[in-house]
Amino acid sequence: MSGAPKVGFIGLGSQGGPMARQIIDAGFRTTLWARRPESLEPFADTAARVADTPKILGADSDIVGICVRADADVVAVVSGPHGVLSGMAPDGVIMVHSTTHPDTCRRLAETAADRGVSLIDAPVSGGGQRAAERGAARDGRRRRRRAGAMPTRDRGLRRTRDPSRSGRVGPAGQAHEQPRVHRAPRARNPRLRAGARARRGTE
C-alpha cells in the first residue's frame, strides 16, 4: 500500500461520531454513510465525503469502521445486498466497533475472508457521553480491544490512537469474549449470557 489508507465509517452516533471525527481530523480521506441524514449534519464542515450506500463506501475505502447499534445492523451494512463487502476490493479491512455477539463477528469474518477482506472485531468501551466530551481516540478511559488477523492496512491508522489503550486478544470474535470490556452489556443480554455459560461448560 502506498500513502495513507482511505477510510470509511458507518455509525455516527454518540460513540461512532467522535471516532469518525478523530479520523477526519487526523487528515485521512474519509467517506461516511448513515441511514439518517441528520447523523451527517455534524460533519458538514469537514472534508469527509458522503456515500449513497455502504457498497459505494466500501468501494471507496481501504479500511471501514462499523459502529452501529445491533447485530442485525452490523450484518446488514457489512454483508447485505448493498453492504460494504459487495463493493470493497480484496485486501480491504473492516473493523467492527459495535458490541455484538462473538459468533456474529466470526461468521462475518468468514464471509469477508471469502472475498479477500479482513474483518476485525474491535469493540470500544467508555460510553457515548465520554466519547462526545473528549473524542474517542483521545479519551484515556476509553479502551479498544481488537481480534482477528492484523492486516498491513490497519497500521496506517496507528497514529490516530494511543497504543497503550488498544490490544490484540486473539482471532475474530475473541475481543467480545473479554469480560473487562463488555461485562455490563453481556450481563444485560440473555443471548450473550447463555453463550458464555455454554462456552464455560466446554472448557
Strands 166-170 and 93-96, by their bridges, are unpaired
- H or E stretch at 150: none
Q: Read off the pLDDT of residues 114-173 as tens digits, 9 standing for 90 and up.
A: 999 999 999 887 655 555 554 434 433 344 455 555 454 454 555 444 544 445 545 556
Q: Would you tell me how many other CB atoms lie within 10 Å of the CB of residue 118?
A: 22
In this predicted structure, what is the pLDDT of residue 32? 98
Output DSSP code: residue 84.
G
Distances (CA, A) of 39 to 17, 79, 105, 111: 8, 22, 25, 28
Residue with cell 489503550: 165
Which domains are seen in the chain, by residue range? Answer: 7-202 (3.40.50.720)
The pLDDT value recorded for residue 124 is 82
The model's pTM is: 0.70
Distances (CA, A) of 90 to 84, 114, 179: 12, 9, 33
Helix 190-202 to helix 179-188 angle, to the nearest 10 degrees?
120
The pLDDT of residue 3:
83
- Please give the chain's pLDDT, 203 residues, in tens: 458 999 999 999 999 999 999 999 999 999 999 999 999 999 999 999 999 999 999 999 999 999 999 999 999 999 999 999 999 999 999 999 999 999 999 999 999 999 999 999 998 876 555 555 544 344 333 444 555 554 544 545 554 445 444 455 455 565 555 544 444 444 445 554 555 455 445 43
